[in-house]
Amino acid sequence: MAPATYLPSYLPIILERGDLTQLAVDAIVNAAGPTLLGGGGVDGAIHDAAGPELLAECSTLGGCAVGDAKLTAGYRLPARHVIHAVGPIWRGGDHGEADLLASAYRRSLELAVAHGLRTVAFPAISCGVYGYPHAQAAEVAARAVRDFILAHPGALSGVYLVAFDDAAAAAIAAALAELGAYERIIGGLLGLIVGDALGVPVEFFRREALDRAPLLDMIGHGTHDQPPGTWSDDSSLTLATAASLTSSRTIDPEDMMRRFADWLERGEWSAHGEVFDVGITTAESIKRYLSGAPAPWGGGGEMDNGNGALMRIFPLACALRRATAAQLIERAGEVSALTHAHPRSRLCCAYFCLVVRAVFRGGGLLSAMNEAAAALAPSLPASEAAALARILDASVLDAPREQIRGSGYVVHCLEASLWAAHRHQGFSAAVLAAINLGEDTDTTGAVTGALAGALYGREAIPRRWLEALARGPELLAVAERLAAL
Ligand code: APR
DSSP for 129-179, written as a single string: TT---HHHHHHHHHHHHHHHHHHSTTS-SEEEEEESSHHHHHHHHHHHHHH
* Same-domain pairing of 195 and 145: no
* Same-domain pairing of 239 and 123: no
The DSSP H or E segment spanning 245 is: helix 233-248
Residue 192, helix vs strand vs coil:
helix
* Same-domain pairing of 242 and 152: no
Establish if 367 belongs to a structural domain.
Answer: yes
β-bridge mates for residue 163, sequence order? 17
- Give the whole-angstrom CA distance, residue 142 versus residue 98: 12
Confidence band (pLDDT; 50, 70, 90) for 3?
A: very low
Q: What is the mean pLDDT of residues 452-481?
A: 97
pLDDT above 70: percentage of residues in the chain: 99
Nearest to 187 by CA among 150, 230, 142: 150
- Residue 9's Cβ-count burial label (10 Å; 0-12, 13-18, 19+) is exposed
Nearest to 335 by CA among 260, 432, 421: 260
Q: Output the CA 65–ligand 1 centroid distance in Å.
A: 17
The DSSP symbol for 119 reads E
Confidence band (pLDDT; 50, 70, 90) for 379?
A: confident
Count Cβ atoms below 10 Å from residue 205 Cβ, excluding itself.
21
Domain range for 75 is: 13-164
Q: Output the CA 45–ligand 1 centroid distance in Å.
A: 9
Q: 93 phi and psi, to 5 degrees?
A: 100, -5
What's the whole-number average pLDDT of the chain? 96
Establish if 380 belongs to a structural domain.
Answer: yes
Establish if 176 belongs to a structural domain.
Answer: no
CA-angle at 37, arms to 35 and 41, nearest 5°: 105
* Same-domain pairing of 310 and 425: yes
- Give the whole-angstrom CA distance, residue 22 versus residue 363: 30
- Give the whole-angstrom CA distance, residue 212 versus residue 214: 6
Verify whether residue 43 is a known catalytic residue.
yes
* Same-domain pairing of 250 and 327: yes
Q: Name the residue at shortest CA distance from atom 8 of ligand 1.
A: 42
Establish if 175 belongs to a structural domain.
Answer: no
Number of C-alpha atoms within 13 angstroms, CB side, residue 440? 28
Establish if 236 belongs to a structural domain.
Answer: yes
Q: What share of the chain is helix, strand, coil (3-state, %, to 5)?
A: 55, 10, 35
pLDDT digits (tens, 9 = 90+) for 258-286: 999 999 999 999 999 999 989 999 999 99
Q: 43 in ligand 1 pocket by Cβ < 6 Å?
A: yes
The DSSP H or E segment spanning 84 is: strand 81-86
* Same-domain pairing of 217 and 85: no
Q: 138 in ligand 1 pocket by Cβ < 6 Å?
A: no
* Same-domain pairing of 239 and 130: no
Q: 155 phi and psi, to 5 degrees?
A: -75, -30
* Same-domain pairing of 123 and 156: yes
- Can you tell me which atom of ligand 1 is nearest the CA of 124? 17
How many domains is the chain built from?
Answer: 2
- Give the whole-angstrom CA distance, residue 383 versus residue 336: 19
* Same-domain pairing of 478 and 404: yes
pLDDT digits (tens, 9 = 90+) for 151-177: 999 999 999 999 999 999 999 999 999
pLDDT digits (tens, 9 = 90+) for 44-63: 999 999 999 999 999 999 99
CA distances to 48, 62, 367 from 153, in Å: 35, 32, 29
Q: What is the pLDDT of residue 5?
A: 65
* Same-domain pairing of 314 and 425: yes
- Can you tell me which atom of ligand 1 is nearest the CA of 39? 32
- Can you tell me which atom of ligand 1 is nearest the CA of 21? 7
Q: What is the CATH number of the domain that holds 146?
A: 3.40.220.10
Establish if 72 belongs to a structural domain.
Answer: yes
Q: 37 in ligand 1 pocket by Cβ < 6 Å?
A: no
* Same-domain pairing of 127 and 59: yes
The DSSP symbol for 445 reads H
Nearest to 230 by CA among 463, 480, 479, 475: 475
- Give the whole-angstrom CA distance, residue 385 versus residue 368: 19
Q: 84 phi and psi, to 5 degrees?
A: -90, 110
pTM score, whole prediction: 0.94
Q: Output the CA 337–ligand 1 centroid distance in Å.
A: 55
Q: 88 in ligand 1 pocket by Cβ < 6 Å?
A: no
- Give the whole-angstrom CA distance, residue 71 versus residue 60: 12
Q: What is the mean pLDDT of residues 186-215?
A: 97
Q: What is the mean pLDDT of residues 421-440?
A: 98
CA distances to 316, 346, 353, 368, 375 from 330, in Å: 11, 9, 11, 19, 12
* Same-domain pairing of 322 and 238: yes
Q: What is the mean pLDDT of residues 24-52?
A: 97
Establish if 169 belongs to a structural domain.
Answer: no
CA distances to 260, 308, 311, 383 from 282, in Å: 9, 7, 11, 24
CA-angle at 438, arms to 435 and 440, nearest 5°: 80
pLDDT digits (tens, 9 = 90+) for 320-335: 999 999 999 999 999 9
Which one of 135, 164, 193 terminates a domain?
Answer: 164
Q: What is the CATH number of the domain that holds 215?
A: 1.10.4080.10
Q: Name the residue at shortest CA distance from atom 10 of ligand 1.
A: 42
Question: Could you say which of 43, 68, 196, 233 is catalytic?
Answer: 43
Establish if 5 belongs to a structural domain.
Answer: no
Q: What is the mean pLDDT of residues 190-218?
A: 97
Which one of 164, 199, 216 terminates a domain?
Answer: 164
- Give the whole-angstrom CA distance, residue 339 versus residue 282: 5
With a cut of 70, say whether residue 355 has pLDDT above it. yes
β-bridge mates for residue 18, sequence order? none
Amino acid at 381: P
Count Cβ atoms below 10 Å from residue 189 Cβ, excluding itself.
30
Provide CB contacts within 8 A for 467, sequence distance 6+: none
With a cut of 70, say whether residue 1 has pLDDT above it. no
Which one of 115, 130, 164 terminates a domain?
Answer: 164
Q: What is the pLDDT of residue 310?
A: 98
